């Protein structure tokens, strides 16, 4: 996996309510812009294969099911180490390609850490009463500490949606600050659950407040909401990231999660990031896909590129 210079973490800043309340979102304009993207960017042949390999390197390979087992997590970690069949990677000249991380529940952190030992692939743990985030606050903070102690290098926390829906930005900021502190050296991804926030303006303001409070990444969804990552939400969030970078000089990462299952969709997201934020954000320390089924479709597309024929999905099983 390609290494990039280590960026300073987002230490956050005092809550600036004037800035937060000045944030607006022109929903119709955002939706029009998002609707143009799938037709405006098209890469083919070798270029498409290269972009799809890039998408794999930016993937948080995820299992968050009630029937997760140690065996399933070990198979997922083996897939993270070798995400595409060796013969395909050799034909593409992409030996050594891995996913960006593996994302699991807390109970599976130790298993994943052991299975990924020596690979350089970090383990991300969902935390803070995932997916609803409604367990007692002291237990949410304790859960973060347990996952960090078990070896998780990244913590995906969920915010209290009620703070956004009631406009209690101070409460959201204070909550995020405490969660960020509990993570210690582990990077924190703040899950906004955008499908439950009501408006794009709420999405934009929640994004900004979480960044002010020290989020290293902002993430769309838990993957458990009826509506997860969408292009209008993504455009709203990454423009908040751009605004925060313009004012503070700090780069914050972005993670769309839920509903991205096709290779062609991944290409649209990558082109949006390139257009709106620039090439530096197309690295694992600043962009991730939260995905479980996306990898299978990308592998099928890469095999088609190499052999000229599509294969059955069962030939590319994740676990």
At 298, give phi and psi (nearest 5°).
Answer: -65, -40
The single residue listed with the structure tokens 């809550």 is 15
For residue 174, give every residue at least 6 positions away whose Cβ sits within 8 Å of its Cβ, in sequence order, or none: 213
CB-CB contact of 53 with 94 (8 Å) = yes
* Residue from 60, 79, 156, 216 carrying the catalytic annotation: 156
Nearest C-alpha neighbor of 267 from the set 239, 242, 238, 231: 231
Contact (Cβ atoms closer than 8 angstroms) between residue 21 and residue 48: no
Select which of 60, 255, 265, 285 is catalytic: 255
The Cα 9–Cα 6 span in angstroms is 9
Assess whether 297 carries a catalytic annotation: no
Catalytic, 255? Answer: yes
> Under a CB-based contact definition with an 8 Å cutoff, are residues 217 and 288 in contact?
yes
Question: How far lies 241's CA from each of 132, 203, 298, in Å?
Answer: 24, 12, 28
Closest by CA position to 57, among listed 104, 101, 117, 122: 101
Q: Find where tokens 């997760």 sit.
A: 68
Is position 274 annotated as part of the catalytic site? no
Environment class of residue 37 by beta-carbon count within 10 Å: exposed (0-12), middle (13-18) or buried (19+)? middle
Q: How far is CA 302 from CA 223, 262, 265, in A?
A: 26, 13, 15
For residue 280, the tally of other CB atoms under 10 A from its CB is 14
Candidate list 54, 79, 189, 219, residue with the active-site label: 219
The two beta strands, 217-219 and 123-126, are unpaired
Contact present, 172 and 160 (Cβ < 8 Å)? yes
Enzyme catalytic residues = 156, 219, 255
């Amino acid at each position: 996996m390609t290494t990039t210079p280590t960026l300073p973490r987002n230490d956050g800043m005092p809550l600036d309510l004037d800035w937060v309340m000045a944030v607006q979102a022109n929903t119709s304009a955002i939706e029009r812009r998002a609707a143009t993207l799938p037709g405006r960017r098209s890469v083919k042949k070798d270029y498409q294969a290269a972009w799809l390999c890039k998408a794999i390197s930016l993937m948080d390979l995820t299992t968050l099911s009630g029937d997760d087992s140690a065996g399933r997590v070990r198979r997922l970690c083996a897939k993270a180490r070798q995400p595409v069949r060796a013969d395909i990677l050799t034909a593409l000249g992409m030996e050594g390609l891995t996913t960006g991380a593996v994302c699991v529940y807390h109970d599976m952190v130790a298993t994943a850490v052991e299975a990924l030992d020596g690979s350089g692939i970090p383990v991300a743990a969902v935390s803070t009463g995932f997916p609803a985030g409604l367990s007692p606050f002291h237990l949410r903070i304790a859960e973060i500490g347990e996952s960090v102690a078990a070896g998780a290098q990244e913590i995906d926390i969920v915010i209290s949606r009620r703070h956004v829906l009631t406009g209690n930005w101070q409460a959201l900021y204070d909550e995020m600050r405490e969660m960020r502190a509990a993570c210690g050296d582990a990077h924190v991804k703040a899950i906004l659950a955008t499908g439950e926030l009501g408006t794009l303006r709420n999405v934009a303001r929640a994004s900004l407040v979480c960044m002010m409070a020290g989020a290293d990444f902002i993430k769309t969804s838990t993957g458990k909401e009826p509506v997860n990552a969408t292009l209008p939400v993504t455009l709203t969030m990454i423009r908040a990231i751009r605004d925060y970078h313009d004012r503070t000089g700090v780069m914050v990462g972005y993670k769309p999660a839920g509903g991205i299952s096709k290779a062609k969709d991944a290409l649209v997201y990558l082109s949006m990031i390139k257009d709106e934020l620039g090439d530096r954000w197309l690295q694992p320390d600043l962009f991730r896909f939260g995905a479980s089924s996306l990898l299978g479709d990308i592998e099928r597309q890469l095999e088609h590129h190499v052999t000229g024929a599509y294969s059955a999905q069962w030939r590319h099983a994740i676990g």
